[in-house]
Structure 1
Amino acid sequence: MQKQRVVFVHGAGTFGAAAWPKQHGMALQYDALFLKRHGFDAQAEPLESDFAADVDIVLECLGAREAASAPGSRGGHVVAHSQGAISAMLAAVERPDLVRSLVLVEPACLSLTAELPATAAYRSLMEPLFRIRHELSDDDYQREFVRRAFSSEAAVLNTPEARRTARRLRLQAPPWEAPLHIVPGVPTLVLTGGWEPLYEEIAGYLQETGALHRVAAGGHRPHDSVEGDRMIRSFIADVSRAGTVQAS
């Protein structure tokens, strides 16, 4: 029997399998793919973020080409973190037939909640920085971004990968510019860390549209906690079982 596919979409920091240390073991049960978004590579120079290119990568991982020639032959579950949730949701809107479920971890889907107070406050804090991001050095931008977004100090850029990470961060487009829409009919879990009103506000909005919302300790990376990992695995397993029952 063919394993169900699970596609993992990282945020703005680490990428590929490194972004999902607690979920590696899911490859034993699922056909797990840990993708790299547009502009993320261990050696190549970072590129400007591109929502459309990220959507294409997600859909390719879900087997969009295979499904075109043999409908129903592919598709899978999508687990996305932070800015990765944008392309995950856009992919589900474009091809809901390929997305069996969505798990959105601390989703940076600010365009959905633009008029709500926590989102508006975050945008007023960050938008001036985004406007001048191409005028700043990677180091200066990262330092100021981390200070504003997380109220902490950025790491020192003392390795080539740390410098590439800082540049990728500076090249990420403002999340409130994404043309997001609600995804009807796709089972969705929103997992947050309970630490930041912005993400709780987004989660609350998605919950009102039908998503399941759960909280696990772990700050901006609740999927790294034992409880957060359990919630992700349980949700996907439940959706998978429900799909198997319906298919039979």
Structure 2
Amino acid sequence: MQKQRVVFVHGAGSFGAAAWPRQHGMALAYDALFLRRHGFDPAAEPVESDVARDISIVIGAIADNPAGGHVVAHAEGAISAMLAAMARPDLVRSLTLVEPACLSLTAELPATAAYRALMEPLFNVRHQLNDDDYQRDYVRRAFSTEPGGLDTPEARRTARRLRLQAPPWEAPLHIVPGVPTLVLTGGWEPLYEEIAGYLQETGALRRVAAGGHRPQDSLEGDRIIRSFLADVSRSLSAQAS
């Protein structure tokens, strides 16, 4: 029997398989693809983010499978994942959204409004700042920590990619009825809990696992993702039989 496809969509940091270290083994049970969003390349110079290109990458990764596929996405990657599901709900079998940066869903809610008020002035001047200054200010504002130095070519490319990402509150998102959805958060940041609460109220399964902004890297977070996909897969198989 053909394996069900699962595509993994990374956020603004590491990409491809490197963004999903605990999920590599899922290739034993699924046809797993670890995507690279537009502008993320191990050698090429970063370019401006392009959500339309990201949507095409996600849809292309599942469209060549007759049964469609599941989409697992982290942070900013959840934006293109949701938009792909909105465009092709016939192909997306489920959505797993990890710490989703889907701010346009909760634009009027307090934590989202406060985050945008904090970050928008920085986004507005991102093309006037160098990569080092932008990354330093971004990390301080978003995570209240200090970033590492830009002492390697990859660190410099990572900082440039960060500066070239579009504001997450601009995407025209809405809920996709009929697509089973899991939202997983790390329980550390009111912004993501607010987004998760909204998604839960609109039908998503909501879970929390320790791990900060990357709960998928924890044993519990990985177990939650695998359990959800297994449950949806069994349901789909039962419907097809």
Q: Using the alignment, how far apart are the partners of 1:201 and 1:10 within structure 2?
A: 21
CA deviation profile, 1:183-218 (whole Å, cap 9, x unmatched): 111000000000000000000000000000000000
Q: Using the alignment, how far apart are the partners of 1:180 and 1:163 within structure 2?
A: 31
Q: Using the alignment, how far apart are the partners of 2:12 and 2:30 within structure 1?
A: 25
Q: Using the alignment, how far apart are the partners of 1:47 and 1:29 within structure 2?
A: 35
Q: Using the alignment, how far apart are the partners of 1:155 and 1:202 within structure 2?
A: 28
1:233 and 2:226 aligned: yes
The equivalent residue for 1:70 is none
Counterpart code for 1:53: R
CA deviation profile, 1:106-134 (whole Å, cap 9, x unmatched): 00000000000000000000000000000
| TM-score relative to the length of structure 2 | 0.99
Counterpart code for 1:122: Y
Q: Using the alignment, how far apart are the partners of 2:67 and 2:206 within structure 1?
A: 27
Q: Kindly state the Cα deviation for residue 56 of structure 1 after the two structures are TM-superposed.
A: 0.1
CA deviation profile, 1:155-181 (whole Å, cap 9, x unmatched): 111000000000000000000001111
Which structure 1 segments of 5+ residues have no match? Answer: 68-72
SS in 2 for 1:173: coil
Q: Using the alignment, how far apart are the partners of 1:193 and 1:183 within structure 2?
A: 23
Map 1:1-248 onto structure 2 (within 5 A).
1-63=1-63, 66=64, 73-248=66-241
Q: Kindly state the Cα deviation for residue 246 of structure 1 after the two structures are TM-superposed.
A: 1.1
Q: Using the alignment, how far apart are the partners of 1:157 and 1:211 within structure 2?
A: 39
Q: Using the alignment, how far apart are the partners of 1:183 and 1:158 within structure 2?
A: 43
Q: Kindly state the Cα deviation for residue 12 of structure 1 after the two structures are TM-superposed.
A: 0.1
Q: Using the alignment, how far apart are the partners of 1:194 and 1:234 within structure 2?
A: 19
Q: Kindly state the Cα deviation for residue 74 of structure 1 after the two structures are TM-superposed.
A: 3.6
Counterpart code for 1:158: D
Q: Kindly state the Cα deviation for residue 244 of structure 1 after the two structures are TM-superposed.
A: 0.7
SS in 2 for 1:101: strand
Q: Kindly state the Cα deviation for residue 39 of structure 1 after the two structures are TM-superposed.
A: 0.3
Equivalent pairs counted in the alignment come to 241
Q: Using the alignment, how far apart are the partners of 1:3 and 1:50 within structure 2?
A: 30
Which structure 2 segments of 5+ residues have no match? Answer: none
CA deviation profile, 1:120-155 (whole Å, cap 9, x unmatched): 000000000000000000000000000000000001
Greater CA drift, 178-187 or 193-202: 178-187
Identity %, equivalent residues? 81
Following superposition, which runs of at least 4 residues in structure 1 exceed 6 angstroms of deviation? none
Q: CA RMSD in A?
A: 0.7
| TM-score relative to the length of structure 1 | 0.96
Q: Kindly state the Cα deviation for residue 88 of structure 1 after the two structures are TM-superposed.
A: 0.2
